[in-house]
Structure 1
Amino acid sequence: MAHDRPFRFGIQLSTAPSGAEWAALARKAEDLGYSTLFLPDHFGDQLAPLPAMQAAADATTELRVGALVFDNDFKHPVVLAKEIATVDVLSGGRVELGLGAGWMTTDYEQSGIPQDPPALRVSRMEESIAVLKGLFADGALDFAGEHYTITGLDGRPKPLQRPHPPLLVGGGGRRVLGIAAREAQIVGINPSLRSGRIDAETAADATAAATDRKLAWVREAAGARFPEIELSCLLFAVVETTDAAGTAELMAGVFGIPAEEVREVPHALIGTVEEMCDLLEARRERWGLSYVVVQGDAMDTMAPVVARLAGR
């Protein structure tokens, strides 16, 4: 594996009862050594990503902020470009731009936003990437695509990070990962969410063998730029335990694989702190996964691992 990047860690947080408590969460994440605070982009019980990103940036000095990931169907890229550039300027250049084609069926059902077929949503996201990059670049953009038409628009403000904030695109399918490999600075290796919900199909696509296949797709699509890509993975389960074998046995049915293979699943981390560190180092060696993102409920559990590995 060509990637020998230092580890960095992100935390995905969703909400807090007040601005003061949200700011305290952001400061805690920074103090614990997390690189980035991410928010999801759904219509459920969570803060809206952009104002929460700005509030987190205002409360900290180095913490990076982003969405994991913005649903392309919720914002026109012209609107998103202005908002992202604004937060990048106001945060001192600390934005990471996560973008996806949209996947959660309940978001579409409850909001009334049409959920087009996956192929159409992915095509629209691909055009959106071109529009975003064009608006972040110097000068006016003219773009005529199937989904977006931009005429003589000079996106302002320009982001502080040049040529643009790092673009993060993740996926579990070959086409999305191919787009990510060609266009993004950060590629997230995810289970398939094609069904629009987290289900047995999602778990079955989270295995080590599936990850081998996805990394091969990324490498092929990226070509010569593969060494430039930062590879990321979201952990859905972090379990600190002295009985990793017993925990893996309990989780084996979820993934539909033998218990001895569960600890190889890159989206779960099970064991003592030392064992978890060893697992992450093995995964970096095998797959190049150096940017590890955890759910908010694992912030404290993961903190000793972050302390040992961040920057190494």
Structure 2
Amino acid sequence: MATFSLQATPTDAASWAALARRAETAGFDALLAADHPGDVTSPFVALAAAAPVTSTIGLGSYVSNLGVREPMLLAADVATLDLISGGRARLGVGAGHTPAEWRAVGRERPDVAGRVRRCVAVAEAVRALLDGASVTVDSVELTMREAVLRVPRPVQDRIPLTMGTANSTLLRWAGAHADVVGLTGFGRTLADGHQHEARWRADQIEAQLACVAAGVGRPGRPPALSPHPPC
């Protein structure tokens, strides 16, 4: 069964609440908020405001930049949203493609491989924190010591995870670990640091799907339904 989500950002409280109610009434599966610090509203504050005026629609970020988000703070935001929404939180993540967002938090954007490693490390740490585990990581990309998310605890046993990417490594990781894979179609980053060449030809989409399929064969995942070119 096909489902549809709506991505938006608030401009004022009244219209945001009205939009959330309309999206739920129209049958959207989720209301999603972008996460670009400095350019859009805080996604989890906005989604928390949508929670009390809705009752069934999912609420999630699409996508949180794991290059500039710290695992403990992100896990606490998601778990809090899940708590106050009665178990409707979603989490969308990505590696972070905009240099200005890294510089704004005092970091220089790494190369592609560095961003991918950071994204996987943070995604795995957030998942472990939400699952109630103690997390210790000591790497170039991420350092955490005996981190435990004691309060709040999420309502859902597993908060649905979306990975938004066009990177082959992350697409394979998403095939193995994510509940939803968002194909961004991003190609080479252009000179402004924000826009990208698009990868939306049929063969390029098939290649991205092949990478997802390459990760799907882990235990507990269904096998790929159709053959794809090697990733």
Q: TM-score range by the shorter chain?
A: 0.7 to 0.9
The farther-off stretch of 52-61 and 36-45 is 36-45
- Residue 15 (str. 1) matches residue 10 (str. 2): yes
Q: CA deviation at 1:165?
A: 0.6
Q: CA deviation at 1:223?
A: 1.2
Q: CA deviation at 1:142?
A: 3.1
1:68–1:228: structure 2 CA closer, same or farther, 3 Å change rule? farther
1:66 match: 60
- Residue 114 (str. 1) matches residue 97 (str. 2): no
Q: Contact 2:91–2:161 at 8 Å: present in 1 too?
A: yes
Taking the aligned partners of 1:60 and 1:194, their CA distance within structure 2 comes to: 39
Deviation sequence 1:226-285 (CA, Å, 0-9, x none): 5389xxxxxxxxxxxxxxxxxxxxxxxxxxxxxxxxxxxxxxxxxxxxxxxxxxxxxxx9
Q: CA deviation at 1:218?
A: 1.0
Letter in 2 for 1:9: F
What TM-score results when the alignment is normalised by the length of structure 1? 0.65
Deviation sequence 1:107-161 (CA, Å, 0-9, x none): 4466764222121111011111121122112343333333323333321222111
**Over aligned residue pairs, what C-alpha RMSD do you find?**
2.5
Q: CA deviation at 1:198?
A: 2.8
Map 1:1-312 onto structure 2 (within 5 A).
6-16=1-11, 18-43=12-37, 45-108=39-102, 113-156=107-150, 157-162=152-157, 164-195=158-189, 196-199=193-196, 201-202=197-198, 205-224=199-218, 225-227=220-222
Q: CA deviation at 1:36?
A: 0.5
1:103–1:165: structure 2 CA closer, same or farther, 3 Å change rule? same
Taking the aligned partners of 2:18 and 2:87, their CA distance within structure 1 comes to: 21
Taking the aligned partners of 2:131 and 2:102, their CA distance within structure 1 comes to: 32
Taking the aligned partners of 1:111 and 1:139, their CA distance within structure 2 comes to: 27
Q: Contact 2:67–2:102 at 8 Å: present in 1 too?
A: no
1:126–1:111: structure 2 CA closer, same or farther, 3 Å change rule? closer
Q: Which runs of 5+ in 2 are unaligned?
A: none
Q: CA deviation at 1:42?
A: 1.4
Taking the aligned partners of 1:140 and 1:210, their CA distance within structure 2 comes to: 40
Letter in 2 for 1:70: S
Taking the aligned partners of 1:228 and 1:67, their CA distance within structure 2 comes to: 28
Q: Contact 1:190–1:206 at 8 Å: present in 2 too?
A: no
Q: Contact 2:217–2:223 at 8 Å: present in 1 too?
A: no
Where 1:38 maps in the other structure, the secondary structure is: strand
Letter in 1 for 2:194: R
Stretches (4+) displaced over 6 A: none
Q: Contact 1:181–1:218 at 8 Å: present in 2 too?
A: yes
Where 1:143 maps in the other structure, the secondary structure is: strand
Q: CA deviation at 1:76?
A: 0.7
Taking the aligned partners of 1:150 and 1:101, their CA distance within structure 2 comes to: 19
1:40–1:286: structure 2 CA closer, same or farther, 3 Å change rule? farther
Taking the aligned partners of 2:54 and 2:187, their CA distance within structure 1 comes to: 33
Q: CA deviation at 1:45?
A: 4.6
Flag the structure with more relative contact order, 1 or 2, with Cα contacts below 8 A and sequence separation at least 6.
1
